[in-house]
Amino acid sequence: MSKLQKLGVQLVSWIRYLGLPLFLGILIGCVLVYQFWVQPALTQQPVTLTLMMIAPEVPPWSDILIKNFEKENPDIRIQIIEGPNASDLYENLYTASFILGDSPYDLVNMDVVWAGKFAAAGWLMDLSSRITDEELKAFLDKDVEAGRYEGKLYRIPLRSDAGMLYYRKDLLEQAGYEPPETFEELINISQDLQEKKAVRWGYVWQGRQYEGLSAMFVEILEGFGGFWVNPETLEVGLDKPEAIQAVEFLKSTIDKGISPPGVPTYQEEETRRLFESGDVVFLRNWPYVWPLANEESSKIKGKFGIKPMVHALGKTSGACLGGWGLGISKTSKHPEEAWRAIQYLTSAEAQRPYIIETGYLPSRKELFTDPEIVSKYSHYPQLLEVAENTVLRPPIAQYAQVSDILQRYLSAALTNSRFTPAKAMKSAADETRAVLEAGNKLETKA
């Protein structure tokens, strides 16, 4: 008897023994179990989530955050695509990919100022039902608020940021100065130390036409008591006397030789390197500079301090709120895996080693006083107060357009002597109003 014949005889005897309906039931059951359970388990590949990352953040993301995540989640991989290194260029790439249709990214890494635009355009999934208000309380409030749009939540903060003033402790002490509180004191100390040839430059800041210029400017604006756009009423304050004074102040630092003539071309990194070379008394920058400027290779290791930004007499200082967080692209085919990734990446456990390595500010309040973090960054408990009292760039859906207008006119005022601060800010205010009115009309029509 052939093998086939033997199998046939066997089958017939099973059918006789079990009865045809039971035999068929068992057979169908076996096929289903194989198809939906055994076979996928044998052939299952991990799900790959894609994420575009701003260039300087690729190493700490790959080496710390993603490595640790994948260790705990072997069924999910995160693939990083390297983006440019300025926030606005990075945002342009995201926008282009969303406009073209299905975004290739599952996770969306967002600057604190993007969520409104992305949510309004319908590019993000609503995360509101995935996290409770109680869980959100563990994060810095303003970072959470920046992720909401029309009452829904689209972004979970992963790390925060706040602008601050770095100053050379050693130079100030030698000359008998306290760290400055006002713009005037900063100018006077700078000029005095420059005249004494103790240092080449007084003050460096981000003057290039890019998002960092807007972030830096809101601090000067706040210090003069001005405002950019009121998010409730959409009133524009750029042509008010306080805003013009803020631009005049920045311009005067270049005209007086306190800031180098190259300042209108500098981003964060150029200013950090100049400060680390030892040629500068004051620097405006984010907290990431602290560990880098304390490395062995830095000429100012252990010689500098940080404090809140200066302000006009009788006004208060403002630190611009920066920071980054994660959302899920509306077209992602793996929202559940993407959410698992967000839960892990924004957890205290994930943030701790990443914060220790980078010197960024955590998004979770408890980490500002975390013993392991504080043993490297003893100033973090004080920074919690700074991070909780930040100034926001206007959280409105038209933010990218409005910031682009401000950057263009500020840059013109700083580099073109025919464009006075008053004239530049009048044009910036008019264009901003036009954009906001057009946005309003569209909303009313809808």
- Which residues of this chain interact with ligand GLC, rule CB under 6 A? 87, 111-112, 161, 211-212, 215, 268, 286, 322-323
Kindly state the smallest distance separating residue 314's Cβ from ligand GLC, in Å.
Answer: 29
The partner residues of 149 in beta bridges, in order of sequence, read: 152
Is the Cβ of residue 106 or residue 268 nearer to ligand GLC in the bound state?
268
C-beta closer to ligand GLC: residue 193 or 402: 402
Which residue, 213 or 300, is less far from ligand GLC as judged by CB? Answer: 213
Tell me the one-letter amino acid at 123. W
CB nearer to ligand GLC: pick between 172 and 306: 306
Report in angstroms how near the CB of residue 169 gets to ligand GLC at its nearest. Answer: 25
Rg of the chain over all Cα atoms, to the nearest angstrom: 28
**Least distance in Å: CB of 233 to ligand GLC?**
24
Smallest gap from residue 78 Cβ to ligand GLC (A): 20
Nearest distance, CB of residue 161 and ligand GLC, angstroms: 4
Residue pair 292/196 in contact by the 8 Å Cβ criterion = no
Our CB check for ligand GLC shows the closer of 298 and 390 to be 390
Least CB distance to ligand GLC at residue 215 (A): 5
Instruction: Rank residues 339 and 380 by Cβ distance to ligand GLC and give the closer one.
Output: 380
**CB 212 to ligand GLC: min, Å:** 3
**How many beta carbons lie within 10 A of that of residue 177, not counting itself?**
16
Give me the sign of the Cα torsion angle 14, 15, 17, 19: positive
Amino acid in the structure at residue 297: S
What backbone phi and psi angles, to 5 degrees, belong to 361? -85, 140
What DSSP state is assigned to residue 242?
H
Supply the minimum distance, in Å, between the C-beta of residue 155 and ligand GLC.
12
111 or 276: CB nearest ligand GLC: 111
Nearer to ligand GLC, 201 or 360 (CB): 360
Cβ-proximal residue to ligand GLC, closest one: 322
